[in-house]
Amino acid sequence: MPHMPRLLGLATAVPPYGLDQEAVIERVKRLFGRSAMLDRLLPVFANSGIRRRYSTVPLDWYDEPHGWAERNRRYVAGALDLLETVTGRVLDTAGVTVGELGGIVTVSTTGIATPSLDALLIERLRLPRKLARLPIFGLGCAGGVIGLARAAEMAMAMPGKAVLLLVVELCTLSFRRGDDAKSNIVATALFGDGAAAALLRCGGDGPAIVATGEHTWPDSLDIMGWEVADDGLKAVFSRDIPRLIETGLRPAVDAFLARNGLGLAQIDRFVCHPGGPKVLDAFARVFGLMPTELTEAREVLRDFGNMSAASILFVLERMLARRGARDRMLMTALGPGFTAGFALLSDE
């Protein structure tokens, strides 16, 4: 497939502060005090499948209240540090110089930057001034897959040039110490921070991005998203997400594959976003997978938590390291909209 965009390299990074799940549980108990609501929700931490996550700020930062302005300053600074790290790593891994770059796609939904993160990174790293820039906000957990799709489209539009995909999410900055609502407690149990970078170019080695697609369900705008409050972003997600996956995802996947002349039986590996254990269980039932077929997704959830858009690229990194020759891989993630993103990778 000489004219297909190919994945030349992939790199990941996390911020410096590790958060053991047991330490988070004790801090939550101290901050919120005992209540009937908290007692009902504490098992979410133990049942999350998460042992450790990473944060751009130390654990004691969460002991004090922080406004929207301070949270966003932390977001911009932490995001840029992580993006600088993964950019250097992916360029080194792929053996690509900055002069070979033609475009940059930057995905993030956990903070706001104007000028956008890509412009700030161009200045910091002295990247080429002619780069085509595409900052993407609002895709949430689907952003890794849909960002990969946009980067692939950009690579096809500029043959010979490499396109840099950057994904960064600092989910932990949305923790709200005065909010004992279920959505905040569940987010506190699941979310971590991380970043990933991918390099794409038409031609060369690496798996080809054969096809990409999306599906947005009707009447689903309230399933997942943010509410903007005075002290920052407040997580919104419905308990119906696993149910919607089980009832609605398979027809959307089948339609996507059919448009590309394939069926589910012709997929060798499934790269699924580890949104949580219930989400992964729903993926397994939809795709008819054995427990071992989502091992990498469960490992990423265990070691890093749910890093929103970045998570699926952490999963892909592990799966590429273990894949067999000529595997056909289907990437699937879901985010606000409510939208599923798909990407089909193949070495053929």
- The 10 Å Cβ neighbour count of residue 214 is 16
Distance CA 335, CA 254 (A): 19
Note whether 52 and 303 are within 8 A (CB).
yes
Buried b (16+ CB within 10 A) or exposed e, 283-318: bbebbeeeeebbebbbebbbbbbbbbbbbbbbbbbb
Note whether 144 and 197 are within 8 A (CB).
no
Is-catalytic flag, 141? yes
Greatest CA separation found in the chain?
61
Measure CA 142 to chain center. Answer: 7
* 185: region left, alpha or beta (phi > 0 left; psi from -120 to 50 alpha): alpha
Angle at 150 between CA 118 and CA 10, to 5 degrees: 70
Note whether 318 and 304 are within 8 A (CB).
no
Catalytic residue from among 141, 171, 202, 272: 141
DSSP 146-187: HHHHHHHHHHHHSTT-EEEEEEEEEGGGG--TT---HHHHHH
Tokens of 240: 């119906």
Report the catalytic residues: 141
